Amino acid sequence: MSSYSKKPGMVPPPPGEESQTVILPPGWQSYLSPQGRRYYVNTTTNETTWERPSSTPGIPASPGSHRSSLPPTVNGYHASGTPAHPAETAHMSVRKSTGDSQNLGSSSPSKRQSKENTITINCVTFPHPDTMPEQQLLKPTEWSYCDYFWADKKDPQGNGTVAGFELLLQKQLKGKQMQKEMSEFIRERIKIEEDYAKNLAKLSQNSLASQEEGSLGEAWAQVKKSLADEAEVHLKFSAKLHSEVEKPLMNFRENFKKDMKKCDHHIADLRKQLASRYASVEKARKALTERQRDLEMKTQQLEIKLSNKTEEDIKKARRKSTQAGDDLMRCVDLYNQAQSKWFEEMVTTTLELERLEVERVEMIRQHLCQYTQLRHETDMFNQSTVEPVDQLLRKVDPAKDRELWVREHKTGNIRPVDMEI
């Protein structure tokens, strides 16, 4: 996966801080995340990282000036409600996102206004396509998984939504099932060939019409021998199907299952962590709102002399409010770390799933080609078993057969003479 590990309290630099003319090492490309954060992809290894890779050994990947002392962010916004990164206006391609509008952070007016400019999908907030230039495609000339499965998809019955990554996993699971069914098809074909070879061999031993003599008898004997030869051809065909088609398909399927399980568990754990920290931020935000409301009520009661609350009570309420604010900031920071990691791993994992799918299709294509090749060879060998029969049938001569039979079975060639009266 990636070599990047985000440090607590660090905020990645805005895209404007890096010059577009910076030369990256061979194989690396620069892109923007949905929140406007620049990240890098190695097109050879599918590695992703937030830090700019260095082309010179010993030089740090990202300059120290890229670090920022800004407060933690939630979904691309600082906890105060101000945008964490300016909008990127260049090098954008169309990619629509849909989902229910949600947001995190404080309830300040600026935060409420920014809510209309974002949409939240799977606990990750994206800029609304109507208010911000579209996210750049990682592979603009291809229908790549890493570009088209960030949003949710509505259920055909309208009962709910399915996450884009879940659709990718379903596609891979169907691919695994198809591999199983194709292996079963080849196995059944092998069984048919084995049974066919067994029946041909049995038929070749049949003694019917074995008393036929002459050139026709030789041709008939060759017909039965050709059955034994054909049985051997089909037996070899079934053995090659097992070793060259069925077995490699099964081995590939087992390895495919392991790769799929690794991808599934890895992303599933990240998404669970993301959802959990999203819930923690929501809980902390509500707690802060309650503490602020309690502090405000006590302050008002003290001012209008409706309560015996002392200033000490006010200080206690203020401390609780401050603590709740600190808790929210901590939850926000943890959430941002989880979101950054999820985004990075989402890119890497979708590229890996795409590689697995390409490999699966190519693997099956190769083995189906091997199947057809073996089938053609079987037809060729079958034809060779019939050629001696054709040659003998062309030599069948009824006159010769009659002559041979007469010579072997004749009783004499003296004709009776007429008696004289």
> Counting Cβ atoms within 10 Å, is residue 47 exposed (0-12), middle (13-18) or buried (19+)?
buried
Which of 132-141, 227-236, 273-282, 287-296 shows the lowest per-residue confidence on average (mean pLDDT)? 132-141
Nearest to 281 by CA among 335, 203, 215: 335
Assigned domain for 323 exists: yes
DSSP class per residue in 203-265: HHT--TTTT--HHHHHHHHHHHHHHHHHHHHHHHHHHHHIIIIIHHHHHHHHHHHHHHHHHHH
Q: How many domains does the chain have?
A: 1
Report residue 50 CA to chain centroid gap: 23
| pLDDT range class, residue 373, cuts 50, 70, 90 | very high
Q: Residue 190: which domain range?
A: 164-401
Which of 128-137, 162-171, 340-349, 372-381 shows the lowest per-residue confidence on average (mean pLDDT)? 128-137
Of residues 314 and 415, the one with the higher pLDDT is 314
Q: Is the pLDDT of residue 350 over 70?
A: yes
Which of 207-216, 276-285, 339-348 shows the lowest per-residue confidence on average (mean pLDDT)? 339-348
- In angstroms, what CA-CA distances link 48 with 51, 335, 348, 412? 9, 20, 6, 102
Say which amino acid occupies 71: P
Mean pLDDT score, 13-36: 63
Mean pLDDT score, 142-156: 81
How many angstroms separate the CA atoms of 70 and 67, rounded?
9
Assigned domain for 203 exists: yes
Assigned domain for 33 exists: no
Assigned domain for 95 exists: no
Q: Is the pLDDT of residue 55 over 80?
A: no
How many angstroms separate the CA atoms of 398 and 214, rounded?
9
- The secondary element (H helix, E strand) that includes residue 404 is helix 398-409
Assigned domain for 47 exists: no
| pLDDT range class, residue 95, cuts 50, 70, 90 | very low
* pLDDT (0 to 100) of residue 16: 42
Per the CB < 8 A criterion, the answer to whether 331 and 105 are in contact is no
* pLDDT, mean over the chain: 74
Q: Is the pLDDT of residue 68 over 60?
A: no
Q: What is the CATH number of the domain that holds 193?
A: 1.20.1270.60
Assigned domain for 331 exists: yes
- In angstroms, what CA-CA distances link 217 with 117, 136, 147, 201? 93, 80, 73, 20
How many angstroms separate the CA atoms of 70 and 72, rounded?
7
> In what order do the strands lie in the sheet containing 48-49?
28-32, 38-42, 48-49
| pLDDT range class, residue 6, cuts 50, 70, 90 | very low
| Residue corresponding to tokens 């990947």 | 61
Which of 24-33, 241-250, 376-385, 396-405 shows the lowest per-residue confidence on average (mean pLDDT)? 24-33
CB atoms within 10 A of CB 156: 6
* pLDDT (0 to 100) of residue 5: 32
Assigned domain for 179 exists: yes
Nearest to 67 by CA among 17, 5, 25: 17
Assigned domain for 420 exists: no
Which of 31-40, 195-204, 406-415 shows the lowest per-residue confidence on average (mean pLDDT)? 31-40
Please count the residues of the chain: 421
Q: To the nearest whole percent, how much of the chain has pLDDT over 90? A: 24
* pLDDT (0 to 100) of residue 29: 79
Q: Residue 341: CB partners within 8 Å, gap ≥ 6?
A: 6, 270
Beta-bridged to residue 120, according to DSSP, are 125
CB atoms within 10 A of CB 213: 12
